[in-house]
Each structure stands twice: as C-alpha cells, then as structure tokens.
Amino acid sequence: MSLRPASASDLLIDGKLTPGTGGVFDVVNPATEEVIGRAADATPDDMDAAIAAARHAFDTTTWSRDAAFRAQCLRQLRDALLAHTDELRESTVAEVGCPVFLTHGPQLEGPINDLGYFADLAESYAWSRDLGEAKPMGIKNTREIRKEAVGVVGAITPWNFPHQINFAKIGPALAAGCTVVLKPAPDTPWCAALVGKVIAEETDFPPGVVNIVTSSDHALGAQLSTDPRVDLVSFTGSTATGKKVMASAAESLKRVFLELGGKSAFLVLDDADLASAVSMAAFAVVTHAGQGCAITTRLVVPREKLAEATALARDSMAGFAAADPTDPGTICGPVISAKQRERVESYIELARTEGGTIEIGGDRPADRDKGFFVSPTLISGLDNSSRTAQEEIFGPVLVILPHDGDDDAIRIANDSPYGLSGAVWGTDRERINKVVDGVRTGTMSVNGGIWYSADVPFGGYKHSGIGREMGVAGFEEYLETKAIAEPV
C-alpha cells in the first residue's frame, strides 16, 4: 500500500474510508505556497456519523475490557506506520513545513514509537486495587477500586506538531479503552488522514474505535464539545479557543483536557555560561519557526550582561536563516500560512510601536520569493509588561529582558498569564533549585535538559491548560474510578 497522498484523502468513519460529503479542500505547502493535493471536507453530518460510530463501538464491543487486544492493535499501528516512514516524512514536511530533521524526533518518528509505550502501559497498568476489609457503620466489607475507560473521546488538534499531538491523544485514549473521534486542524489534514488509511487497511482496530474527520470547518470541533454522546474532549490549541471548548462542554458536563498557550521564560543566572545559554535560547526560538507552545520566547538575562547577551543572541540568530525545510541543515522553516505570517508580522510592528528595537530580522527573507517565511527576529528594549512580551506570537521571535537577580528572574517568569514551560541556566545547584521551585510552570529544563518523552507528563499551569498529556498522568486523564464494596 502506498501512503503518498492521492488527489484527495478520505475520512475514516466506522472502519471505512469514505469521501467527505462536503467535497474536498486544498492542502497547501507553506514553503512554496503551492496546492499539493486535497483532503476530504467533512460536514456536520459526517461528524454526527463518526460520533455515532464511536458511541456504538464503545457501548457494544469488548474494546474497553480487553487490554491485551488494545495493546496488540496499538503495536500493529506503530509497526505499520514505521514501515511507511519515508512516505510519511515526505508528506509531513510538505504539509507542515517543518524542517526535515524534526521528523526524526517529535514531528514523526518519536510519536509513532510512543504508541508502543501506551501499548505496554495498557498491559502493565493496575486496573484494580484491593483496599482490604473495613467496618463502615459496623458492617464488615471488602472494598476494591477499579479503573475504567471514560468512553467516547473527542480529540481536537492543531497544525504545529500534528503527529505528536494526534498520537499524544489517541494513543493513551485507545490504550485506556476509549473510542475516539479525531478532528485535526484544516491546515494539516493529511497527517491524520494517512494514519486513518493505515488503521483501516493494516490493523485490526474494530470499526468505530477510531474515527478521523478532516474538514475545513472549525465548527466541527465545536460539535464534539456539545454532543452529549461524547464523554471527554481533549483539545490542544489557543487559550481563547480552549475557553470556548470548556464553556461548550459545560452544558453536558463532559470532562475536558486542555493544552493551551505559552509564553515561556528562558532564565539565565549570573553564574551561567552566557554564550552557551544564549545560543541555546536562540536555537530554541527559531526551531520550526517558533511554532511550538512550549518554546521559550522570553530570554531573561542579568541586567549587567544585557548588552553582551543581546549581541550573542543577535549573532546566534543570524546563523539560523529561514530556509527550505527539505534541506537537512534547516532549523527555521516557514510558518504555516499567510494568515499566521501576518499575525507574526503584526506583533513585530507592535514591538516597534511599544518602543522595542529590532536587533535582527523583523522582515521576510530576501532570498525567498515564495513561501510563508519570517526572518528570525530578536527584540530588545521592552518591559515584561509589554504586549509583545506577554502574548503568544507563535513565530521565530525572541524578546530579551533584563533581571536584577534570581528573585527578580522568578518574578518575571511568573509575570505571565501562562505557565507551560521554562528553562534555567546556572552552575550553583541551590540557586537552580530555588528557581525551579519558584517558577510556576508545567515543565522546566535545567542547563539544556530535555523533558520530552513518552513517559513524561506534559501540560501547564494557569492559562496554559488543564490536565496532563503523555506519561501515566496523561493516560489516567482517560480513565474513570469506580469503587466496589461487598459484605463479608
């Protein structure tokens, strides 16, 4: 079977590959602006059929009670996708615009392999726990706690790391015994649709267990939030949209998992290797054109070293030009669309009006006449209270800010509505630990440490979301707890 996208990819509903009743919509390569194919355009009727299929599969099959079979299917999917890695790599780079080097990690191969982690967890997890005997109200009882699948999961995913986020939802949900309706972003439908083709043709997943509904209509995600047949909505995207998802889900009292925005701080202490720290901060913010919610976009350095750090950051970012994502040496590719480029550029202009200085970048690359490219941009001269320093930009834009000691660095990091990620560089372990303890964030990197892994829970504080994804904690988001008592 070939996974190279044809003229149009299909929906996966109730185990069958089917066209969308709304026709098709264009898939655009963000590096070239060319239409590279089409995807099935689902309507509310298609989404209704997908939800019905997921509900029926959960309510009438043994899927939720057969952990060994679930593990088998997840491993089948992992192995089948790995057999198609080269085809998936080509289509992913073309559709997402991500640098090809990232497909060897979180843009493709990492998430595929993570399915094996959740298969293992389905088999090893303690699905029941004996609480022993007790005498409530003088009556001797044995008690037991059981964990069971939540039910039907609606998964709504964004375009920036589609494979990572799709599998971070459907992997643990399926391992937990749930059935799933996946609604991917309109910008990257193939990353989900091609997985649907593999599920339908190369695995033993029962009909209705996995449903994949691509559409140009964002309202289909809202349909998942309001439909009472859906038990849980797992959403990754902007904080503004996440609030709407939460409000919509409240009507039917369904559970929600929200992984939302970030404006994470990269804190450099005065005893750190400044050149190494600043170089890492520059690398992070230009990777995949800054299109990552956990990317550190505020570089906070000692005030007495601000000029030196600014020069170092400027020089580092000069070496990461926005370029062709198919080139193995490219770190910064295009942003996803013309609309997103306009958003990034509007923030750069805002920085100017707020009194900031564009140290480098702030424009489109002169050697790129096609593609949605933005030059890596460093902004100085702003206060942390500025909108440019407070709001998520989602582009290769780094704001450098001064701090007046460790306590002030912690204050600046926490002076944000978000709390998704962060980083600290230094040499004194006691001071580093104080910073790690003081910053209110879901993940923290120390001196370049990498927390990204299938077994590490990911999520944020404050406006960065509710719940955790990945790891045992992410798996348990898809479980209910049932208590059972029986008299002895």
Tokens of 480: 């209910």
How many distinct structural domains can be found in the chain?
2
Residue 204, pLDDT score: 98
Alpha helices of 236-273 — where are they, by DSSP H?
239-250
Are residues 395 and 291 in contact, defined by beta-carbon separation less than 8 angstroms?
yes
CA-nearest of 198, 200, 206, 194 to 79 is 198
Is 389 within 8 Å of 399 (Cβ atoms)?
Answer: yes
Q: How far apart are CA 400 and CA 406, in angstroms?
A: 16
27 confidence band (pLDDT: 50, 70, 90): very high
What pLDDT, in 10s, does the model give residues 454-476? Answer: 999 999 999 999 999 999 999 99
Same domain, 427 and 470: no
Residue 385 belongs to a domain with what CATH number? 3.40.309.10
Residues 161 and 19 in one domain: yes
Sequence-separated (6 or more) residues with CB below 8 Å from residue 467: 256, 257, 258, 259, 459, 474, 477
**Statement to judge: residues 403 and 308 lie in one domain:** yes
Residue 195 counted as domain residue: yes
Distances (CA, A) of 483 to 26, 130, 159: 50, 10, 40
Residue 208 in domain: yes
Do 233 and 269 belong together in one domain? no
Pairing of strands 35-40, 8-9: parallel
Residue 428: inside a domain, yes or no?
Answer: yes
What is the tens place of the pLDDT at every residue in 170-190? 999 999 999 999 999 999 999
Q: In the beta sheet, which residues pair with residue 364?
A: none
Statement to judge: residues 290 and 438 lie in one domain: yes
- Mean predicted lDDT score pLDDT of the chain: 97
pLDDT band at 6 (very low <50, low <70, confident <90, very high): low
Spatial CA neighbour of 341 closest among 366, 389, 373: 373
As a whole number of angstroms, the distance between CA 146 and CA 256 comes to 21
State the pLDDT confidence band at 3, using cuts at 50, 70 and 90: confident
Instruction: Name the token pair of 289.
Output: 């054109």
Answer whether residue 280 is part of any domain.
Answer: yes
- Please say whether the beta carbons of 375 and 365 come within 8 A: yes
- Please list the active-site residues: 259
Strand partners, 210: 180
Distance of CA 151 to the CA centre of its chain: 22
Is residue 453 in a domain? no
Considering the domain architecture, whether residues 110 and 188 belong to the same structural domain is answered as yes
What's residue 7's pLDDT?
54
Whether residue 160 lies inside any domain: the answer is yes
Note whether 224 and 307 are same-domain residues: no
pLDDT of 5 above 70: no
Distance CA(216)–CA(231), nearest Å, equals 24
The parent domain of residue 403 ranges over: 265-446
Q: Are residues 363 and 292 in the same domain?
A: yes
Instruction: Assign residue 77 the CATH number of its domain.
Output: 3.40.605.10
Q: Are residues 238 and 338 in the same domain?
A: no
Q: Where are the alpha helices (DSSP H) in 354-442?
A: 387-390, 406-414, 429-438
pLDDT in tens, 90-149: 999 999 999 999 999 999 999 999 999 999 999 999 999 999 999 999 999 999 999 999
Cα(281)–Cα(317) distance, rounded to whole angstroms?
9
**Does the pLDDT of residue 4 top 80, yes or no?**
no
Which pLDDT tens digit goes with each residue over 415-451?
Answer: 999 999 999 999 999 999 999 999 999 999 999 999 9
User: Other CB atoms closer than 10 Å to residue 449's CB: what's the count?
Assistant: 10
CA distance 332 to 373: 9
* Closest listed residue to residue 212, CA positions, set 16, 28, 77: 16
Judgement on whether residues 183 and 319 belong to the same structural domain of the protein: no
Is the residue at 58 inside a domain? yes
CB 299 within 8 A of CB 313: yes
Identify the pLDDT of residue 185: 97
Residues 275 and 192 placed together within one structural domain of the fold: no
Kind plus residue range of the DSSP H or E element containing 220: helix 219-226
Average pLDDT, integer, range 63-77: 98
Residue 424 is predicted with a pLDDT of 98
CB-CB contact of 275 with 268 (8 Å): no
Give the residue-averaged pLDDT of 264-275: 98
Same domain flag for 16 and 146: yes
What is the reported pLDDT for 39? 96
Q: Examine residue 455 and state whether it is found in any structural domain, yes or no.
A: no
- Cβ neighbours of 12 (radius 10 Å): 30
Half-sphere exposure of 376 (CA within 13 A, CB side): 26
